[in-house]
């Protein structure tokens, strides 16, 4: 092998390495606080694919655990250059601040809102072999067996726990909360009869409902789901409890406004297409769109709603 050939090969390798590192340095990361395979992860990956098609090289990183605080802290400490976005939710951007006495990040100071991108209508879902098949039977069984129903959620501060806890309070029942790190582990726990019910979206549940493994009891939204028109809303069963699992992107505090505006524009370009709206619905999501300021106002409104309720329920700073 001649020295000239070796020299040229090294030059080509060096050029490839420089280009590769440059691409990696310019890749936008969407940090999801749940394991891969869950509803939020699936939706984030759809968004990442569409953003990449529009020239914004985008990948998803999963950092589950600690009610979303591991991922939130990671993004809060990241460089404010618009290349690291947190997939925030009710729990991480609002409820955790009231629920937890000690937090490694401040949701109201450590982030700037970028875009609200959607929500998931939630359902209370039971094992098909559970001793109840409706909300009325669920409440009756819980009253007859206080604390015996094991109820799963994706974390104490998550909306999947709080809205079910609100139903407990409204119905005068007591269930036992069992937290998991994401949708996929909850589904496995249900399949293994480790828990009796869980709060979740249609994304993970629908195949198991169709297969007769899971039984939906009620939808925690104002309208029934198109995919499951026979499942009543919770309000139809006599309990006025309404809650949505909403999500959006935030960036580290200090991210330049021009960068936020650019990201918001690109994300909304994706969200407002008919094709993506249809994909979102297939995944069990209702897409949302709007400006960064719209999302900031929405977060403030949600904090004004949930913080007093969490305190009223005696959960404030209890974790």
- Beta bridge partners, 286, equal 119
Lowest mean pLDDT among 11-20, 74-83, 182-191, 303-312: 11-20
Helix axes 274-282, 257-271, angle to 10 degrees: 80
Cα separation, 38 vs 187, whole angstroms: 10
Mean pLDDT rounded to a whole number for the chain: 89
3-state helix, strand, coil in the chain (%, to 5): 45, 20, 35
pLDDT at 68 exceeding the cut of 60: yes
**Per-residue pLDDT band at 25 (split at 50, 70, 90):** low
One fold for both 3-119+245-312 and 123-237? yes
Give, in order, the Cα–Cα distances in Å from 3 to each of 8, 14, 15, 124: 9, 16, 18, 70
Between 186 and 19, the higher pLDDT residue: 186
Instruction: Kindly report the pTM of this predicted structure.
Output: 0.77
Report pLDDT digits (tens) over 141-185: 999 999 999 999 988 778 888 889 889 999 999 999 999 888 888
**Per-residue pLDDT band at 6 (split at 50, 70, 90):** low
CATH 3.40.190.10 fits 123-237, yes or no: yes
The mean per-residue pLDDT over the stretch 88-105 comes to 92
The pLDDT assigned to 215 comes to: 97
The pLDDT assigned to 58 comes to: 98
Q: Which helix (H) or strand (E) holds 280?
A: helix 274-282
The pLDDT assigned to 22 comes to: 40
**CA-based nearest residue to 247, from 42, 81, 37:** 42
The pLDDT assigned to 150 comes to: 97
Superfamily designation of domain 3-119+245-312: Bordetella uptake gene, domain 1 (3.40.190.150)
Domain boundaries, the chain: 3-119+245-312, 123-237
**Per-residue pLDDT band at 16 (split at 50, 70, 90):** very low
The mean per-residue pLDDT over the stretch 120-144 comes to 96
The pLDDT assigned to 8 comes to: 56
The pLDDT assigned to 145 comes to: 97
Are 292 and 115 in contact, with CB atoms under 8 Å apart? yes
The pLDDT assigned to 24 comes to: 46
Lowest mean pLDDT among 43-47, 153-157, 281-285: 153-157
Are 47 and 115 in contact, with CB atoms under 8 Å apart? no
The mean per-residue pLDDT over the stretch 100-127 comes to 94
Sheet holding 197-200, edge to edge: 176-179, 150-153, 197-200, 123-127, 214-219
């Amino acid at each position: 092998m001649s020295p000239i050939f070796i020299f040229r090969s090294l030059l080509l390798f060096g050029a490839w390495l420089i280009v590769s590192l440059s691409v990696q340095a310019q890749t936008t990361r969407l940090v999801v606080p749940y394991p891969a395979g869950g509803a939020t992860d699936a939706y984030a990956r759809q968004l990442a694919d569409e953003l990449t098609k529009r020239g914004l090289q985008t990948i998803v990183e999963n950092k589950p655990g600690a009610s979303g605080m591991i991922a939130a802290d990671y993004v809060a400490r990241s460089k404010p250059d618009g290349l690291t976005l947190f997939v925030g939710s009710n729990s991480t951007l609002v409820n955790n601040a009231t629920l937890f006495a000690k937090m490694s990040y401040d949701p109201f100071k450590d982030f700037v809102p970028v875009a609200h991108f959607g929500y998931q209508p939630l359902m209370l879902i039971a094992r098909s072999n559970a001793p109840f098949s409706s909300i009325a039977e669920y409440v009756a069984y819980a009253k007859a067996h206080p604390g015996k129903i094991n109820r799963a959620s994706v974390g104490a501060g998550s909306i999947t726990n709080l809205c079910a806890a609100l139903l407990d309070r409204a119905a005068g029942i007591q269930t036992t909360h069992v937290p998991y790190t994401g949708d996929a582990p909850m589904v496995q726990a249900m399949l293994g009869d480790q828990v009796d019910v869980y709060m979740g979206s249609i994304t993970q549940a629908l195949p198991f409902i169709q297969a007769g493994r899971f039984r939906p009891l009620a939808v925690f939204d104002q309208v029934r789901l198109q995919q499951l028109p026979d499942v009543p809303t919770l309000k139809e069963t006599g309990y006025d409890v309404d809650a949505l699992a909403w999500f959006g992107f935030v960036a580290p505090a200090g991210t330049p406004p021009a960068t936020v505006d650019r990201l918001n524009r690109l994300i909304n370009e994706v969200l407002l297409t008919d094709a993506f709206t249809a994909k979102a619905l297939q995944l069990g999501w209702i897409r949302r769109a709007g400006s960064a300021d719209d999302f900031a106002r929405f977060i403030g409104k949600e904090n004004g709603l949930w913080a007093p309720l969490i305190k009223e329920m005696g959960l404030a700073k209890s974790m």
